[in-house]
Every structure is written in C-alpha cells, then in structure tokens.
A and B are shown apart, each in its own frame.
Chain A
Amino acid sequence: METTFSPQSLGRPGLLSELRALFAVVRREWTSFVRYPSWIISLFIWPVIFPMGYILTARALSGVDGSGLTTFRNTTGLNEYVGYIAVGTMIWMWQNIVLWAVGYALRNEQMRGTLESNWLSPTWRFSYLLGSSIPQMVSMFMLMLVSGLEYAFLFGVDFNGSLWLSLLVILASIPSVYGLGFAFASVVITLKEANAFVFLVRGIVMIFCGITYPLAMLPGWMESVAQWLPQTYIIHAMRSAALSAEGFSGIAFDLKMILLFGVFWFALGYALFNMMERRARQTGAIGQY
C-alpha cells in the first residue's frame, strides 16, 4: 500500500493563529512588566512629583499676597492653576511613556537578538507592535486612575467635570497617541540610536501643546504650530471634560480633531511600519544593532 504525504506547513496562518500570536506577545509583555517592581514607584510617585515642580513654581509666581495669581487670572481667565497643570502634565506623561515603551518595543527585541527569529514566524508582523501596546494601555489606564485620585486627595483638585466624558477623550486619543508611537517604533528600527529623537518629539509636545499655560501665551507662529499637534486638542479636551461642567459641547470640536489626527497618525504609523520593515529586510539590517 502506498501512503501519500502532502507536505504542509506547520504554521497555518488564520485569524485564530494570529490572535494566539497576538495574545502570546501581550502575555510576554505583561510578564516582563510585572516582573520588575519599580513600576509600582512609577505608578504612584511620578504622577505626584512630576507636576509638583510646575505647581510649586506657579505657587512662587503667585506671590505671598497672591498678587501674581491675580495677574494670572486677568491674563488667562482661569481661576486656579493646580488642576490645569496636573491634567496637562498627565497627558504629556502618557505620550512620553508611549514613546519610550512602544517606540522602543522593536528596538529592544533587536537589542536582545530576538527580532530576526520572531520575524521568521508565520504571523502578522504588526502584531508585535500591537501586542506591546496592549499591556501598556492597561498600565496607562491604571496610571491615569491613580493620578486622578492623587490629584484630588493630595493637591485638592476639584474635578467638576464628567468621568464618562474624560474616558471618552482618553479612548478617542488612543489612535493619535499610539499611532505616533508606532511611527516612532518603525523609524527607530532603522535609525537605531533614538534617544535624541524621543527628546525631540516629547520636547515639541512640551513646548507647543500648553501643558502648563494657555496657548494664548504663545507667540502667533507657535500657536499655529500647536494647531497641528493632536496633543494640543487632547490636553484641551481633557481639561474641559475633567475640570469644567461644560458637558459634551465643550469637547465636541476637540474630539473631532483628535479623531481626525487619530486616523492620520494610525495610518502613518502602519504605513511607516511596513515601509521600514521591508527596507530593514532588504538591507539586512533587521538583526543589526
């Protein structure tokens, strides 16, 4: 009797196998994340001490008799600065952490020497990047929750707004924030030494997006630049949603802009990933570091 044997690949890519691969990346990232207890410090301490520098500076600028604060009120139309600074710095921290964590996801694999072997597995390559982002998103939700509680109890920030609208702003911001992270991760595979670029991107957000001051304080040309950055709208929308009682109408325009930027950055992130990935394979640079 003759037995026929048709050679078949061990890996049969399908939706389920792709999901399993994605889940494996998520599980690995989560295990690495909880393995080092320093994340607890980041979770509880950074949200307090990062805005503290700015808040204490604003306190000094207010003066002993509060005359500086009166000037601040006249100039900006705002009544208080603590919640204003806390929300602005929190969004900056989010983008900063995404740049380091998601932006370096593939680079770290390259450094560990596992990128080339992972690339050979019959999975959708973008899932490596997507899988790294999911645990990161969970940890960021935790960070925002802890930050909110700390700002309310330690700094006495009065969150007059709506929790649901704040959540809506966060969800709508995910494509912009992570899309930028994906674009960054793709560039880093080729450029490798990327610290200076993280400093540049987060610096742009820090200077132009008004994390500690109203945009009206910026010169005209800087205001124009700020209008092209999604973080400007995210910070503004988050302040409206969390600190004021304006309701949906207060964030409607920002939300529209955030979603438009989200589509752009996510598409750009994906396109750059494909382009850089192909280029790195062609030049044989995927395993180099």
Chain B
Amino acid sequence: MQTQSLSQPTLASQLRGLSAVIRKDWKQYWRYPLNAISTMLQPLIWIAPVYFMGQAFSVNGQARGFAQYSGTTDFMSFVLLGTVLENFINAVFWGMGYALKNDMDSGVMESNWLTPIPRLLFLVGHSATNLVVTAITSSGMLLFGGLIFGFNASGDVWKAFLPILPMMLGLYGFGFAFAALVMLLREANTLVDLSSFLVQIFSGSNFPVNALPRFLLPVALALPLTYGLDAVRAYLIGTKTILPLPWELALLIVFMFVMLWLGTGAFKWLERRVRVLGALGQH
C-alpha cells in the first residue's frame, strides 16, 4: 500500500489558503463597523488642530509663508495627502506589525503554522486585506476631509500611481520584517507607537521636510517614504520636489526591491528563531 499525504500542496491549494486568510481578515474587520468609522474619522480629528493653526498663519486661506517651502499655498491639500500616507504607515506598523501577534494572542498561531502552506503566505494574506481596507478607509477620509477642509488635486491621478505602487510594495515589504520582529519581541506597543510617530514626522506628512532644522534634515532624507510622499504631492498638487522626479521614482523602485528582499529574508530568519526558541505559542 502506498501512503500518501492528505495534503498535497499545489498552487491551487496555496491560493485557497491565501483566500481563506483574506476572507477571515475581511470578515473580522467589518464585524466591528465602529472601528472602521473610527479609522476614517481619527485622522480628521488629528488634523483639525493643524487646520485651525494653518488658518492663523494664512491670509484669505492662502498660506504664503508655507508656499516658500512647499511651492503651494494650498496647505490643507498638502496635509490631507500626507494624512493618507500616514494611514498606510499606521496600517503597516499596527496592522501588519500585529498581524501575527494577534494570531499568537488568540491561540491559533501554532495550528496555522502546522498547515502545509508557505508561512509567508499568511503575511501576504494579512497584507492584502490590510492594503484594501486602508485604501477604502483612506478614500472615505479623503472624501470627508475634502468636504470639511477642502481638497483640490489638479494634477494627473494616474501618474500619481507611479510613485504610489513602489512605495506601497516597499512599505509592505518592511511590514513583513516588522511583523516577525513583533512576533519575537511580543510586547512591542511602545516600539510600534514611537517608531510609527517618528516616521510620520520625518517623512513630512504635515509639512515639507526642508522646513526641518538642518540637523534633523538627514533623518528625513534617509527615509524613502519622504521621496514617495514628495513625488505624489508633486503629481497631484504641483509642489516643489526635493530631487528631480525621475530620481525620486528610481529611488522608490530600488526601495521596493530592497525592502521586499530584506523583508522576506528577515521574516524567514526571525520566524525560524521564534520556532527555535519555542515561543510560537507564547504571548
């Protein structure tokens, strides 16, 4: 008699596994509609003080001082676009970072790990839902924000996807490594909170980074997200860029490949480390 494994991993079975992870995350997210509404409205609450502060520096809604740094007097469109990217940064840090930790906490991590599908596929599944959900909530936020504060994007929306695509893929590549790190550290709230806040400040989500004091500027220029945000704004609202646009795009493409490679590599290494330590089921 020939023994045969009940599970025969094929491309189709892996896709079914992936679809199960996506479906589970999707269902779980929309099960709590108040959280979804809160995700949409929270960023608007955070930028309300920025809006009123901007009014104090503007004449007839034109922030002329701001234009000297950014190339646009439309302060709020600048901030709203930054807030959309901020949503994705938060989603990667909190959503992706805690994706596996949540599985650990709910006690399903070990059993999931025993299934015959590549472990990275769990993260790909979590990322796909996270990306779609963040895109939906960000669109809602942009819609509400536009109605409340005003949003004028006169540029080419399709061209704006040129920097958005490599930036998002690179960001989620970083999310792979970060998720594995949180899985190893387990209690990482302060780390996540602090690092996401600093990345948001230094990538210039609310202001052009050339307004930073000289000694802080290198930190901003070392973050690839700074160029992504800069390029998206240049395409949509015609702001001045830090580097010529083709250079910024090239940097983002390099960032994407490096982060995807580093992210998957780090995930595999850290995941193995967690298994060696026997900490997979601990929380």
Instruction: Identify the A interface with B (CB < 8 A).
Output: 36, 38, 41-42, 45, 49-50, 52-54, 56-69, 71-72, 75-76, 193, 195-196, 199, 203, 206-207, 210-214, 217-218
Query: 23 A–B contact pairs at CB < 8 A?
Result: A36-B187, A38-B190, A41-B194, A56-B206, A57-B206, A58-B57, A60-B211, A61-B53, A61-B63, A63-B66, A67-B68, A68-B58, A69-B65, A71-B58, A75-B56, A195-B35, A195-B38, A196-B38, A199-B41, A199-B42, A206-B46, A206-B49, A213-B52
Q: How far is the CB of A224 from chain B (nearest CB, A)?
A: 16
B48 within 8 A of A: yes
Q: Are the C-beta atoms of B45 and A64 separated by less than 8 Å?
A: no
Indicate which residue in A49, A196, A211 contacts B197 across the interface (CB closer than 8 Å). Answer: A49
Nearest residue, chain B, Cβ from A203: B45
B186 within 8 A of A: no
Contacts of A41 in B (CB 8 A): 190, 194
Q: Are the C-beta atoms of A62 and B50 separated by less than 8 Å?
A: no
**Besides the contacts A61-B207, A62-B65, what 15 more A-B pairs have beta carbons closer than 8 Å?**
A49-B197, A56-B211, A57-B50, A58-B57, A59-B207, A61-B53, A61-B63, A69-B57, A69-B65, A71-B58, A76-B56, A196-B34, A207-B48, A211-B49, A213-B55
Known: A38-B189, A207-B49. A71 touches B194 (CB 8 A): no
- Considering residues A41, A57, A218, which has the most beta carbons from chain B within 10 angstroms of its beta carbon? A57
Q: Are the C-beta atoms of A56 and B68 separated by less than 8 Å?
A: no
Q: Are the C-beta atoms of B69 and A60 separated by less than 8 Å?
A: yes
Q: Are the C-beta atoms of A212 and B53 separated by less than 8 Å?
A: yes
Q: How many B residues, CB 8 Å from partner? A: 42
Q: How far is the CB of B94 from chain A (nearest CB, A)?
A: 12
Q: Are the C-beta atoms of A61 and B75 separated by less than 8 Å?
A: yes
B281 within 8 A of A: no
* Complex Cα–Cα for A65 and B68 (A): 8
- Considering residues B42, B65, B75, B187, which has the most beta carbons from chain A within 10 angstroms of its beta carbon? B65
Contacts of B263 in A (CB 8 A): none
Nearest 8 interchain pairs by C-beta: A68-B65, A63-B65, A60-B211, A203-B45, A60-B207, A61-B57, A38-B190, A212-B49
Q: How far is the CB of A212 from chain B (nearest CB, A)?
A: 4
B277 within 8 A of A: no
Contacts of B189 in A (CB 8 A): 38
* Complex Cα–Cα for A66 and B66 (A): 10
Q: Are the C-beta atoms of B201 and A49 separated by less than 8 Å?
A: yes
Q: How far is the CB of B283 from chain A (nearest CB, A)?
A: 14
Q: Are the C-beta atoms of B63 and A68 separated by less than 8 Å?
A: yes
B54 within 8 A of A: yes
* Chain B residues touching A, majority SS: helix
Q: Mark B196-218, 1 if CB is under 8 A from A, else 0.
A: 01101100001110011000000
Q: How far is the CB of B151 from chain A (nearest CB, A)?
A: 18
Q: Are the C-beta atoms of B48 and A206 separated by less than 8 Å?
A: yes
Q: Are the C-beta atoms of B49 and A61 separated by less than 8 Å?
A: no
Q: Are the C-beta atoms of B32 and A71 separated by less than 8 Å?
A: no
Indicate which residue in B45, B46, B187, B212 contacts A56 across the interface (CB closer than 8 Å). Answer: B212
Q: Mark B12-34, 1 if CB is under 8 A from A, else 0.
A: 00000000000000000000101
B70 within 8 A of A: yes
Nearest residue, chain B, Cβ from A61: B57
Q: Are the C-beta atoms of A61 and B198 separated by less than 8 Å?
A: no
B6 within 8 A of A: no
Known: A56-B212, A57-B206, A207-B49. A62 touches B57 (CB 8 A): yes
* Complex Cα–Cα for A13 and B131 (A): 57
Contacts of B201 in A (CB 8 A): 49, 52-53, 56
- Considering residues B37, B50, B56, which has the most beta carbons from chain A within 10 angstroms of its beta carbon? B56
* Complex Cα–Cα for A75 and B56 (A): 6
Known: A54-B50, A196-B34, A213-B52. A68 touches B64 (CB 8 A): yes
Contacts of A199 in B (CB 8 A): 38, 41-42, 45
> Which B residues, 188 to 240, have Cβ-Cβ distances below 8 Å to chain A?
189-190, 194, 197-198, 200-201, 206-208, 211-212
* Complex Cα–Cα for A61 and B56 (A): 9
Contacts of B50 in A (CB 8 A): 54, 57, 212
* Complex Cα–Cα for A217 and B65 (A): 18
B59 within 8 A of A: yes
Contacts of B59 in A (CB 8 A): 71
* Complex Cα–Cα for A54 and B53 (A): 9
Indicate which residue in A68, A69, A193, A212 contacts B52 across the interface (CB closer than 8 Å). Answer: A212
Q: How far is the CB of B212 from chain A (nearest CB, A)?
A: 6
Nearest residue, chain B, Cβ from A39: B190
Q: Are the C-beta atoms of A213 and B53 separated by less than 8 Å?
A: yes
* Complex Cα–Cα for A41 and B197 (A): 13
Q: How far is the CB of A249 from chain B (nearest CB, A)?
A: 26
* Complex Cα–Cα for A213 and B58 (A): 13
* Complex Cα–Cα for A274 and B189 (A): 33
Q: How far is the CB of A67 from chain B (nearest CB, A)?
A: 5
Known: A63-B66, A206-B45. A42 touches B211 (CB 8 A): no
Q: How far is the CB of B211 from chain A (nearest CB, A)?
A: 4
* Complex Cα–Cα for A28 and B237 (A): 54
Q: How far is the CB of B206 from chain A (nearest CB, A)?
A: 5
Q: How far is the CB of A187 from chain B (nearest CB, A)?
A: 15
* Complex Cα–Cα for A212 and B49 (A): 6
